[in-house]
Structure 1
Amino acid sequence: MPQEAYVAALREQLEPRNEGWFAYKTNGVEAQTAAAESLQRLLEMRFEPQDIHLTTGGFTAIAMALKSVANPGDEVIYSLPPWFLYEAMIIEAGLVPVKVRIDAESFDLDLTAIAAAITPRTRVVIVNSPNNPTGRIYPPTLLVKLAALLELASERNGRRIYLLSDEAYNRIVYDGARFHSPAEYYPHTLLAYSYGKTHLAPGQRVGYLALPPTIPDRDALREILSALQVAMGWIYPNALLQYALPALEKFSIDVGQLQRKRDRLYDELTGMGYQLHRPEGSFYLFVHSPMADDEAFTESLATRDVYVLPGALFETPGFFRISLTANEEMVERSLPAFAEAIRLAEGG
């Protein structure tokens, strides 16, 4: 169930305060200001309110970013395992998806593979950190190297390559870690964010696309994005969510509780013989399947009323994804099923 603070933030804005309360809304200044100030605190970068382009969730922020800088036929690089809908959104925009694998050992971006995938038609590279499904937060050392790689490739091609940073989970980090955005290291970055993960309320569609203060041609990009917000179907969040957004910026779901469930599952699963990394953020565990056929293994778990997603859905067979949004009772109930499933898979 949603947090009471979330419900209260929406309830507070239900009563109209003027005759235009539920009229058409574009980018509400108070909402933009709250988001910009929050990003300033998170990333220690001076975002301006007019650089926050409010959207109906992270979906449209990503779609708008692609359409703002790329032309039909341009190529977009992203890493596997990906979020489900990158490919569909790239194709819908008339662009060409180019897929590369991450480093299977560290779950880091494979910079050598990204460099090899770049062509004169490359226009965008998508980075998702904290990553869904791996839970990896890419470290500054990696992001600095990625920035240098994209700068050299842009110079070589005579055409700018943009970085699209999908940061839906940038407030969901564990162990007191400091999240670092690619925008801190590469000026030509577009930052997409969704409040649906922060508050575990994905049906309330609100997010934004942000331009960092370091991005060149900022005025031109502001105009392009403002036009796209209308042309893509009035993709501004509805009035109620915009009014509530300053309050929504003040809290999140209980990250400490998520961390406790992460630790409980990680310790138990590794003790059973499962192979997995301890995620640094997001709310997932990405686990090696003890059977080569990860879909068959997830089906075996389903017969025990434990539901996970096979790695094949992420174009990464041989894994499965667990969501930490399950409650504590569900986590505890799942443990005997995980133990029995791996025993049978290993022929025990």
Structure 2
Amino acid sequence: MNTSVARTPGSRSPVSDRAAAIEGVLPYRLLNKFFTSSPWAKRKNEPDICDLTFGNPHEMPQDAYVEALQEATFPRDDQWFAYKQNTPEAQEAAASSLERLLGVPFRPEDIHLTTGGFAAIALALKAVADPGDEVIYSLPPWFCYEPIVVEAGLVPVKVTVNLETFDLDLDQIAAAITVRTRAVIVNTPNNPTGRIYPAAVLQGLAAVLEEASARIGRRVYVISDEPYNRIVFDGARFHSPVEFYPHTLLAYSYGKTHLSPGERIGYLALPPTLPERDGLVGALAALQLAMGWIYPNAVLQHALPRLERFSIDVASLQRKRDRMVDALREMGYRVSRPEGTFYLFVGSPDPDDEAFVASLADRGVLVMPGALFETPGFFRISLTANEEMLERSLPVFAAAIDRSPSTAD
């Protein structure tokens, strides 16, 4: 699909076709509307509002996080705040942590530090795909995939997950692969559904991509978007596509692990099993410079070894999850119990999810409509709201479902 905006011959518009294309994609238009004119935009700063929209903190940050940044701010030498690329101490800490999590022997040189997960995904796409290549991802998606894909000059190809299990639909993915396919984005644990894709599903995906790569005569890569891979519940074992498909580039962000999305640090990791690894290393360094020096700032790199020692309180998130899921189910909502992340993806009792979200906002509860995730009929709740907000929201959810079209007499 061509998302570029048609230009009149001789047009003197100062806006490039690429920028106009990004402005034109549906997710960007919906997100921009949400930022500027939604009930959230109008009411988010009201003192008694229950803001359950974005994964932003609604409590003071952990002392350990503040102390890590404070310590990293104190200079040890005259180069402390100089240009930084990949600080060896930060790479070593990240690689060791990733090896412990996945059982894959990542090395420090496999870690390419970035300004958060956004940059890591964009870096991966630009490293393996050329303008006009296709990138497959599943709906409901993180709403920034399409703008990132289009900015890279690539073509988004969308399939849907199984909306009963929230698992990847491997048949749809296989059918969507063409000679122009270059990458498949996989987000696990998934935002917004909270699904951790099982090992069997990821093994099946690997088989699909091996067969397709051989058939079309070019490698199809996986870009595994894993900012929530430390936020899993009930002792679940997280599996990464890296474990099953060596042609995987892993994108990670610390903004979720520490609930600090405004502090931009993450990385793109190349597994040692990646056959093309050596050829990509130089390309990544060139792109990190050309994309605007997308290395994290010096203080965050210095802090990273300490940041790897702790995370937000996952047990507290699990208690919030259980409280909300149990209460919403008792009210009559359709909601799965997420295995990870800090979101609930809830079936809207009104087929018009945007109207239902507006009715909640009228009563002081702000959530995100499923339309924003290109999956109407749902809405998303963020569990990063504080417990007092969540408790105040429950009577509102109860009143809203009682008055919704699907439950009214």
Give the TM-score category using the shorter length: over 0.9
Report the alpha carbon displacement of residue 150 of structure 1 after superposing the two structures with TM: 0.2
Q: Where does residue 124 of structure 2 map in the other structure? A: 65
Q: Which runs of 5+ in 2 are unaligned?
A: 1-59
1:57-96 → structure 2 map (5 Å cutoff) = 57-96=116-155
Report the alpha carbon displacement of residue 13 of structure 1 after superposing the two structures with TM: 1.4
From 293, 317, 324, give the equivalent of 1:234.
293
1:294 matched to 2:353: yes
Aligned length: 348
Aligned to 2:75, the other structure's residue is in SS state coil
Aligned to 1:13, the other structure's residue is in SS state helix
1:37 matched to 2:96: yes
From 333, 351, 364, give the equivalent of 1:305.
364
Deviating runs (4+, > 3 A) in structure 1? none
Q: Where does residue 154 of structure 1 map in the other structure? A: 213
Aligned to 2:334, the other structure's residue is in SS state coil
Report the alpha carbon displacement of residue 16 of structure 1 after superposing the two structures with TM: 1.2
The one-letter amino acid paired with 1:277 is S
Could you list the per-position Cα deviations for residues 182-207 of structure 1 after superposition, in whole angstroms to 9, with x for gaps in the alignment?
Answer: 00000000000000000000110000
Report the alpha carbon displacement of residue 223 of structure 1 after superposing the two structures with TM: 1.0
Report the alpha carbon displacement of residue 335 of structure 1 after superposing the two structures with TM: 0.6
CA–CA distance in structure 1, aligned partners of residues 155 and 254 of structure 2: 28
Q: Where does residue 139 of structure 1 map in the other structure? A: 198
From 232, 246, 258, give the equivalent of 2:317.
258
The one-letter amino acid paired with 1:169 is Y
Q: Which runs of 5+ in 1 are unaligned?
A: none
From 272, 291, 294, give the equivalent of 1:213.
272
Could you list the per-position Cα deviations for residues 49-75 of structure 1 after superposition, in whole angstroms to 9, with x for gaps in the alignment?
Answer: 011000000000000000000011000
1:8 matched to 2:67: yes
Aligned to 2:197, the other structure's residue is in SS state coil
What TM-score do the two structures reach when normalised by structure 2? 0.85
Identity %: 72
Report the alpha carbon displacement of residue 95 of structure 1 after superposing the two structures with TM: 0.4
1:347 matched to 2:408: yes
CA–CA distance in structure 2, aligned partners of residues 19 and 138 of structure 1: 46
CA–CA distance in structure 2, aligned partners of residues 140 and 41 of structure 1: 18
CA–CA distance in structure 2, aligned partners of residues 80 and 13 of structure 1: 40
The one-letter amino acid paired with 1:210 is A
1:43-62 → structure 2 map (5 Å cutoff) = 43-62=102-121
Q: Where does residue 189 of structure 1 map in the other structure? A: 248
The one-letter amino acid paired with 1:26 is Q
CA–CA distance in structure 1, aligned partners of residues 189 and 313 of structure 2: 17
CA–CA distance in structure 2, aligned partners of residues 274 and 36 of structure 1: 41
CA–CA distance in structure 2, aligned partners of residues 49 and 180 of structure 1: 21
The one-letter amino acid paired with 2:218 is R
Aligned to 1:126, the other structure's residue is in SS state strand
From 334, 337, 341, give the equivalent of 1:282.
341
Report the alpha carbon displacement of residue 275 of structure 1 after superposing the two structures with TM: 0.4
Could you list the per-position Cα deviations for residues 98-117 of structure 1 after superposition, in whole angstroms to 9, with x for gaps in the alignment?
Answer: 00010011000000110110
Report the alpha carbon displacement of residue 227 of structure 1 after superposing the two structures with TM: 1.1
1:109-148 → structure 2 map (5 Å cutoff) = 109-148=168-207
From 224, 228, 238, give the equivalent of 1:179.
238
Report the alpha carbon displacement of residue 226 of structure 1 after superposing the two structures with TM: 1.2
1:225 matched to 2:225: no
From 316, 320, 331, give the equivalent of 2:390.
331
